[in-house]
Structure 1
Amino acid sequence: MTRRSVNPPPTGMLYDRLHFSQATRVGDTIWVSGQVGIDVSTMTPADGMDAQARLAFEGVRAALEAGGAGLQDIVELTTFHTDLRGDMDAFSRVKDEYIAAPYPSWTAVGVEQLALPELLVEIRAVAVVGCGDHVDGS
């Protein structure tokens, strides 16, 4: 079995500069690195939870698609929040725009800080390619 780094354009500079892949695929499993609410074209954080969550989910989507999967293939979601209780309603509304039933496992963790002081949320995911096409919602 081979391991493949997944770095969709324009994230290659992050691989070169910070030495990590946006995702790693081994077999049919893809591990997506933590995605944050930064506009990768300007490298600036978005303003507010809604905007940051959307950018982070778009980063998850891009990494999965570059690896041959989609959001429907996510089996585990882990989110890190600097204001877990205060931002959960807003985050959950955005999450529901991207993640449909049957829902994956999800762990939400409150943290003191993320990579930049302006960041509010970080999202990582594990997906199994093609499993979203064959689901049991029970």
Structure 2
Amino acid sequence: MTRKIISTDAAPTAIGPYSQAVQIGDTVYLSGQIPLDPKTMTLIEGDMDAQIRRVLDNLTAVAAAVGGSLDQVAKFTVYLTDLSHFPLVNEIMAEYLKDPYPARAAIGVAELPKGAQVEMDAVLVLDA
């Protein structure tokens, strides 16, 4: 199968040697997104609610760049520096997604790039 690199200006550029997403067949692997403003490449100001929404908006932009949407995500992985924010993640994800929901894992981590408090990556299936 052919590998296609996905890139969009509507989401932050990679901050290392990786792509925003890679498509192989109908499967798209979306790299982790932190709450970076795609225009300034700095962490957004605001509370955890705003940070989670920025991450999901960034993932939405990358999914759209390949002609997809978050509705086609098969699996999310959520990384949090403080697992007490997990209920808020659930609340906000429920606004961005609809039933049936994708699979998901949530992992507590010591730290994330650029001092972010949340990061998410996803696997999207275009024909889903």
Whether TM-score is above 0.5 comes out as yes
Give the C-alpha shift of residue 51 in structure 1: 0.7
**Amino acid across the alignment from 1:54:** R
The aligned residue for residue 7 of structure 2 is 7
The aligned residue for residue 45 of structure 1 is 43
Q: Retained in 2: the 8 A contact 1:71–1:99?
A: yes
Q: In structure 1, how many angstroms separate the alpha carbons of the residues matched to 2:102 and 2:76?
A: 7
The aligned residue for residue 111 of structure 1 is 109
How many residue pairs end up in the alignment? 127
Unaligned runs of 5+ in 1: 132-138
Q: Retained in 1: the 8 A contact 2:6–2:66?
A: yes
Q: In structure 1, how many angstroms separate the alpha carbons of the residues matched to 2:92 and 2:35?
A: 12
**Which structure carries more helix by proportion?**
1
Divergent runs of 4+, >6 A: none
1:28-39 aligned at under 5 Å gives the runs 28-39=26-37
The aligned residue for residue 79 of structure 1 is 78
Give the C-alpha shift of residue 11 in structure 1: 5.0
Which of residues 115, 119, 123 is equivalent to 2:120?
123
Give the C-alpha shift of residue 18 in structure 1: 2.4
Give the C-alpha shift of residue 10 in structure 1: 4.8
- TM normalised by structure 2 equals 0.92
The aligned residue for residue 134 of structure 1 is none
Aligned-residue sequence identity (percent) comes to 34
Q: In structure 2, how many angstroms separate the alpha carbons of the residues matched to 1:77 and 1:50?
A: 18
**Amino acid across the alignment from 1:127:** L
